[in-house]
Structure 1
Amino acid sequence: MYQPVRIAPSILSADFMNLGADIAMIEAAGAGFVHIDVMDGHFVPNLTMGVPLLKQLKAATSLVCDVHLMIDNPLTEIPWFIDAGADLVNVHAEALTADELVCAVAMIHEAGCKAAAALKPKTPVSALDPVIDRLDMALVMSVEPGFSGQSYIAGSDRRVAEVAARARAAGNESMLIQVDGGIGEVTAPLVAAAGADVLVCGNAVFKAADPALALQTVQAVADVARLTALAGGEA
């Protein structure tokens, strides 16, 4: 059954002096997730937010708290973020061995949360193979992780299609595909047509003149592209 494309605004691009108002705005505008970028300055060259912010955020919204761990030691820190209120925990395949990735997904599921695994742009999609049959979501990065405001890497939609094909082959028809990086009104249709279900938007939403309208516009154009693709390319 078709599910509308959902938008996951990344609060890395929000106004931290008015974060509560920004969260209320995206929730009222119809966001499906709130995307929380956790960076440790080692796995990626930036430092961002952590457990204290997530705890306060969880108490302030009914949106799905989608925690993207861009860190070197996810096996250590996964329990911290689950305890703080994460609904979905996203770990990077590059930070873990294949066995550790299996362990991480099991740890997340055993705690009652949804499990996701992320890929940097140059990481082979096959890195998801050890867990693709049990993931709730896979994240295809369409920029190099670390900073907001980067431009979409051309061809990322082909990687989305490859992830979708591998999930189907593994019998995981319910797995969501998320795309993060340079997603806006122009690029959203590309990845949605390829099979993306959840689109992370940062500057395209929070830096827009009318953030709520921008969110709704990206969702609308992505939905049209996805439905057209499912209908076999008919307008």
Structure 2
Amino acid sequence: MKYPLIAPSVLAADFANLQREVEMLNDSPADWIHVDVMDGVFVPNISFGLPVCEAIHRHARKPLDVHLMIMQPERYLEAFAKAGAASLTVHLEASPHLHRTLSQIRELGCRAGVALNPHTPVWLLENVLHQLDLVLLMSVNPGFGGQEFIEQTYRKTTELRRMLQSAGSAALIEIDGGVSNQNAGALVEAGATVLVAGSSVFKADSPAEAIGQLKSAGRQPVA
């Protein structure tokens, strides 16, 4: 598999034409479709829930990468798996029984992921590395799209890559927030394997072309 994988976030899509947007992603170079679920409690915003995830899945031909920015995510794992999630990512900050939650995700047949907010250190994952299929590093504070990329993400990505390598883990490293052609190459060089992009894709004149450009930028060596 050639990295980076690109996972456009439908949080930035045109909700009035969501089927059309999903069909565009089907025909684009995108690898996954990123679905941000927000509850207005864990993050200061409300996005969408199970019915919208189900609707996206009905039209999607690419895996749904579901990012649960919610409290008590374990209550909804089975429902989101049934709604079509190929991967389920929960926040370490919202999961006091993380080992149990990751086991539940894997039992549901989904890729198991953990997300970390910008201030959360990667070493807190040390005791669950063997259960992880992916780690999502937030490169903005979660809750809203269109925010400015946090520069410390490069160092954090490198630190996480070293930790995964030392543990013999093949977990993917996903970056979410402020990803663009300007930082994609440096993120991949630091260790990122999956790039989430919202505004930089859906606000482009040609979103499909923007996805291809982002993938190319991630494969360019950094000067």
Give TM class, smaller chain. Answer: over 0.9
Match of 1:162 in 2: 159
- Shift of residue 134 of structure 1? 2.1
Contact residue 35 and residue 68 of structure 1 kept, 8 A: yes
Contact residue 133 and residue 167 of structure 1 kept, 8 A: no
Query: Does 1:126 find its partner at 2:126?
Result: no
RMSD: 1.2
- Shift of residue 162 of structure 1? 1.0
Match of 1:49 in 2: 48
Residue type matched to 2:180 in 1? G
Contact residue 103 and residue 131 of structure 2 kept, 8 A: no
Match of 2:185 in 1: 189
Percent identity between the two aligned chains: 40
- For 1:85 and 1:163, the matched residues in 2 are separated by 29
Contact residue 167 and residue 175 of structure 1 kept, 8 A: yes
Match of 1:206 in 2: 202
Unmatched 5+ residue regions in structure 1? 229-234
Q: Matched residue of 2:129: which SS?
A: coil
Residue type matched to 2:181 in 1? E
- For 1:21 and 1:119, the matched residues in 2 are separated by 32
Aligned length: 223
Query: Does 1:147 find its partner at 2:129?
Result: no
- Shift of residue 27 of structure 1? 2.1
Q: Matched residue of 1:68: which SS?
A: strand
Match of 2:105 in 1: 108
Match of 1:24 in 2: 23
- For 1:18 and 1:216, the matched residues in 2 are separated by 22
- For 1:62 and 1:26, the matched residues in 2 are separated by 9
Contact residue 42 and residue 71 of structure 2 kept, 8 A: yes
The one-character-per-residue Cα deviations of 1:110-161 (angstroms, maximum 9, x if unpaired) are 1111100000000011121121122110001000000000010012011111
Unmatched 5+ residue regions in structure 2? none
- For 1:135 and 1:18, the matched residues in 2 are separated by 34
- For 2:23 and 2:83, the matched residues in 1 are separated by 20
Moved segments of 4+, more than 3 Å: none
- Shift of residue 61 of structure 1? 1.0
- For 1:187 and 1:4, the matched residues in 2 are separated by 15
Query: Does 1:59 find its partner at 2:58?
Result: yes
- For 2:85 and 2:143, the matched residues in 1 are separated by 20
Residue type matched to 1:6 in 2? L
Residue type matched to 1:54 in 2? C
The one-character-per-residue Cα deviations of 1:92-115 (angstroms, maximum 9, x if unpaired) are 001122xx1111110000111110
Mapping 1:64-75, distance limit 5 Å: 64-75=63-74
